[in-house]
Amino acid sequence: MQKIERHIMAMLLCLGALFVSCSPKDAKVTRQPFGVTKDGKSVELFTLRNKNGMEARITNYGGIVVSLLVPDRNGKPGDVVLGYDKLDDYIADNPYFGALIGRYGNRIGNARFTLDGVEHVLAANDGPNHLHGGLKGFDKVVWEAEEAPGKGGSALHLKYVSPDGEEGYPGTLLVNVLYTLTDANELKIEYSAVSDKPTVVNLTHHSYFNLAGEGSGTILDHILTIDADKCTPVGPGLIPTGELKPVEGTPLDFQKPTRIGERIAMNDEQLKLAGGYDHNWVLNKSTNALTLAARVEEPSSGRIMEVLTTEPALQFYSGNFLSGKNIGKKGHPYVYRSGFCLETQHYPDSPNKPEFPSTVLNPGKKYSSMTVYRFILQ
């Protein structure tokens, strides 16, 4: 394994370092113990702060954003992500609160795909389908972590080596993720990966947001805009049909600011299949430049969140499977639709849909992606 990792590290250096900025002494990160996994691995909690009173707490277990403090219009900080106070709760029952997702975010139909004529069978952990990397995806591993040089803020560098065959995926994959909390009130996530064999990669982040504050009720009064005029409609199991369909005139049309709850109860086939919103929007972009994908406004707090990404698509999930059984921070039960996710990504089931943009990563190439969650006060 060490020989393979050295080989992949050499590949990464040849392709160019992703994380280059200021000197390490400029970083502003504190760390503390956060518990021990069942197999005895120590886990830490890292706190990033900026000059405006924002604070992000991130653990190297699953790369989870445990809390994200953002001031409201009166300057009072509030935690805007769902999660737990203790590591044991994340290990026991975590519906991906705040986690890094890989190797493949979202679903792969029938838990299998064929690459270069070889069929690869994955874990079926969502009915007959594969979801978010499998039984032990990147959300459930302990990442190597260190304070990192952060351009315009404080940063945390995470690294994980996913061995060949893990969860059924081919190739040893070296993954680097850089979290930066900038002084422009942005949580920036930069992803990089290289592989020694052809494989598929689709990394994303899975925070459940409630801009009124976690545990404060539903997100139905949040006002959402998504810069997309098409989506990938789904069939049974929420696997895309392979079509691209216009959203105009449907409940999936968020081209103009719209309350999340305004049309969520409509008798619409797509909403009935997903139990609400759990769909992939095709962003209005033709390049991989960092562009604005979505904007969310929360009227009571005055908080606004913008999502920028280099990715071609965005999954909006309206917390349809939250039921109150997950008891979160400060004893808050996370009730039905009390959080939403905006997951930047390639399209679901792309390995089985040649008409979709490719998610294949070949040796000698580098996977790179960036997403920014930017916060603004009204």
Q: Sign of dihedral through CA atoms 103, 374, 262, 66?
A: positive
Q: Which of 166, 190, 311, 343 is catalytic?
A: 343
Cβ atoms of 211 and 224 closer than 8 Å: no
Q: Please indicate whether residue 343 is annotated as part of the active site.
A: yes
CA nearest 295: which of 245, 253, 230, 342?
342
Cβ atoms of 48 and 179 closer than 8 Å: yes
**Cα-atom radius of gyration of the chain, to the nearest Å?**
20
Q: Please indicate whether residue 332 is annotated as part of the active site.
A: no
Cβ atoms of 97 and 231 closer than 8 Å: no
**Whole domain around residue 143: which residue ranges?**
2-377
Kindly give the residue spans of alpha helices, DSSP state H, lying in the chain.
2-15, 87-92, 269-274
Q: Which of 206, 222, 279, 346 is catalytic?
A: 206
**330 phi/psi in degrees, rounded to 5:** 60, 25
Helix (H, G, I), strand (E, B) or coil at 271: helix
pTM of this structure: 0.93
Residue-level pLDDT, tens digit, the chain, 378 residues: 444 445 544 444 343 344 333 333 344 799 999 999 999 999 999 999 999 989 999 999 999 999 999 999 999 999 999 999 999 999 999 999 999 999 999 999 999 999 999 999 999 999 999 999 999 999 999 999 999 987 788 999 999 999 999 999 999 999 999 999 999 999 999 999 999 999 999 999 999 999 999 999 999 999 999 999 999 999 999 999 999 999 999 999 999 999 999 999 999 999 999 999 999 999 999 999 999 999 999 999 999 999 999 999 999 999 999 999 999 999 999 999 999 999 999 999 999 999 999 999 999 999 999 999 999 977
pLDDT at residue number 140: 98
For residue 250, the one-letter residue type is T
Cβ atoms of 179 and 155 closer than 8 Å: yes
Mind giving me the DSSP string for 168-183? G--S-EEEEEEEEEET
CA nearest 327: which of 96, 89, 139, 37?
89
In sequence order, which residues have a C-beta less than 8 Å from that of residue 355 and are 6 or more positions away? 242
In sequence order, which residues have a C-beta less than 8 Å from that of residue 302 and are 6 or more positions away? 72, 73, 74, 377, 378
| Cis upstream peptide for 103 (omega within 30°) | yes
Cβ atoms of 231 and 247 closer than 8 Å: yes
Cβ atoms of 232 and 103 closer than 8 Å: no
How many angstroms separate the CA atoms of 186 and 180, rounded? 8
How many angstroms separate the CA atoms of 144 and 25, rounded? 20
Neighbour tally for 116: CB within 10 Å: 9
In sequence order, which residues have a C-beta less than 8 Å from that of residue 175 and are 6 or more positions away? 102, 138, 159, 160, 161, 162, 191, 192, 193, 203
CATH number at residue 131: 2.70.98.10
pLDDT at residue number 16: 36
- Residue 336, CA distances (Å) to 36, 257, 265, 326 in order: 31, 23, 13, 10
- Tally the domains of the chain: 1
